[in-house]
Amino acid sequence: MEQIGKQVRLPFRRAFQIALSGIRIRFGRSLVTVSGVVLGIAFLMSNLTGQLIKQSIAQESEQRNTVNLMLSLVKSEIGDVSGRHIAVSSFGNLSTVEQLLLSQLKTTADVREGDGAVLRIVLGNQINSPASLTTLTAGMSQSVVLDSLANRVYAGTAAPTMRRELFFGKESDEQIAKQTRQARADKFRNWWIVTISLLVTVFGVANALLMSVTERFREIGTMKCLGALSSFIRTLFLIESSLIGLAGSILGVILGALLPLIAYGFVYRFGLVFGTLPYGGLFGYAAMAVVVGTLLAVMAAIYPARFAARMVPASALRSTV
């Protein structure tokens, strides 16, 4: 008598092939399941992208405001800068604001080294002693020293004194607290909406997969009659859902990133939106959204997969399903 042995586990590659061909053949149904993931992930991604765009535009406009403020201070001290001789001393790497200021000045003023400058701008280094200030303003008839790092403006004749301290973006504590509260509330509401939409996605995918299990009752039963282990059936559904999740998330990410980019592009300018967008952050969010979408799809498949795996093989024999 032949001894009864133990059934071997099928290699993952084979299960993957079967799952993939299943998706391809049932393309219409797969598309419905995929679209659930696409919508959920597109919503998540559009939220994240929207935040990113808003942040970068806000940052950009704040920087511009700072530059404008600096320029208007200069103007109040020495009058119109156009055509006038301005000297620049820069130390180390310049900040974005400093670069912006410099490029703004260069469009109208005569920016170069040499004697007779009416304005000395110190970029990238803090003026920490009156002596250094004197050195910097030596030989100038009238001078304004902008110390952007310390947010200070020095003006005067031979020995300029500190005129003004600029409080760029420095609000009162109360204002800051209010803004923080508002930001926290916004963030909470945002995440709440995103969470709900993702939950809807999970249930949608779970429902579609359950339908797909019921449709394939006979197929699953047949596979079991032919010697498939329950774990194989489970693996089959988990692979299928992860592929659906991956495809759906990638589509969702593309859709969810493009829509707000286009929308904000029309509201502001495309140049501004695309110019200021932090692409690293965007790709980070995209990667996160793909991982989230795939994981959620797999999560959604856990119950349907277990349900399918528990089926008795005899159900394949029932003539009416």
Comparing CB distances to another protein, the nearer of 21 and 135 is: 21
According to CB under 8 A, which residues from 301 to 320 bind another protein?
Answer: 312-314, 316-319
Q: For residue 6, is it left (φ>0), alpha (ψ between -120 and 50) or beta?
A: beta
Name the minimum Å distance from CB 188 to another protein. 46
Query: What is the spatial distance between Cα 86 and Cα 136, in angstroms, rounded to a whole number?
Result: 12
What mask of x and - would describe binding to another protein in positions 219 to 248, judged by CB under 8 A?
x-xxxxxxxxxx-x----------------
List, in sequence order, the alpha helices (H) in the chain: 12-25, 27-78, 96-108, 130-137, 173-215, 217-225, 230-267, 270-276, 279-309
Helix (H, G, I), strand (E, B) or coil at 147: strand
Q: Enter the DSSP assignment of 170.
A: -
C-beta of residue 111 within 8 angstroms of C-beta of residue 140: no
C-beta of residue 228 within 8 angstroms of C-beta of residue 319: no
Name the minimum Å distance from CB 300 to another protein. 21
Name the minimum Å distance from CB 305 to another protein. 16
Which residues lie across from 60 on neighbouring strands?
none
Report if residue 22 touches another protein, rule: CB under 8 A: yes
Report if residue 214 touches another protein, rule: CB under 8 A: no
Comparing CB distances to another protein, the nearer of 181 and 318 is: 318
Count of positions on this chain that bind another protein (CB under 8 A): 35
Comparing CB distances to another protein, the nearer of 98 and 240 is: 240
Interacting residue ranges for another protein, rule: CB under 8 A:
1-2, 4-8, 10, 14, 18, 21-22, 24-26, 218-219, 221-230, 232, 312-314, 316-319
